[in-house]
Amino acid sequence: MTDWIAQDWNDQTCRARAWFETLRDRICAEFEAIEREAGSSAVFEYTPWQRAAVEGRGEGEAGAETGGGTRGLMKGKVFEKVGVNVSTVVGALSKDFAGTINGASAEQNAFSATGISLVAHMANPHVPAVHMNTRFLTTTKAWFGGGADLNPPIPYAQDTDEFHAELKAACDAHGAGYYNRYKAWADDYFYIPHRKVHRGVGGIFYDHLECADAAGWEANFAFTRAVGEAFLAVFPRLVRRRMGMDFTAGDKAVQLEWRGRYAEFNLVYDRGTLFGLKTGGNIDAILMSLPPEATWS
């Protein structure tokens, strides 16, 4: 572990956590405002949770574990199901899992993690579903990761273009090659190999954006904040554009079949799902990404 991580990781984690919580509050307020515009009184319900020890650790490892988070969930007229989670945990990775995490090993398996995770499944199939997640982790290294991707059952080029344009602007302000690199990473990551289809129309995905020193941390934190701001700027606009559109039973059937593909990806391939399950996360919070209804033919 570098000296600056050893000295400052707690302060940096607290700063990142504060930002994730502020972003959550702003997103939830905007989503509740959309519900009110649609004549709904739906609001987020918040459920705090504390991290439980994970079985299979070496003697004494579980005792250092701490942290937890808050699961925010709303079911309304526009947002059929939307979850916004913030969690901050500290502890030791199980020895068989540690080797899969950047900067960790069976011998050096201590970690901390804080982040925000959001998934929205919409009532109207013309409104795109969406995922957004940003996070900060420390092991023997410190890094940021995250991104956002749009998942419309019925794609509209206008929505896709606007979503990507907002993310590109955020990327361009922080790195000349960020957008092309992270868009390509999202296209590769959000792919369902056994179906040979992408999960949606993409976005950006980045991981292991390492902080070699305090200056690097500040730069990567600024970029991560920009991703959150870009999401908040563009997604509510797309929702308002489509939420009043009429839809047919056929449109709904398309949505439900598409949701089945979404569930398959999250249960089989998603890194965040695996990390949460392997580190003693809250099961309801981890699986809140699953749609309320889905079909398989």
Active site residues: 131
Contacts 24+ apart (CB under 8 A), 17-25: 17/86, 17/88, 17/114, 19/221, 19/224, 19/225, 19/228, 20/86, 20/114, 20/115, 20/116, 20/134, 21/86, 21/116, 23/116, 23/225, 23/228, 23/232, 24/72, 24/84, 24/86, 24/116
Residue pair 148/162 in contact (Cβ under 8 Å)? The answer is no
- Report the Cα 237 to chain-centroid distance in Å: 19
Say if residues 145 and 206 touch (Cβ distance below 8 Å). yes
Query: What number of CA atoms fall less than 13 Å from residue 140's CA on the CB side?
Result: 12
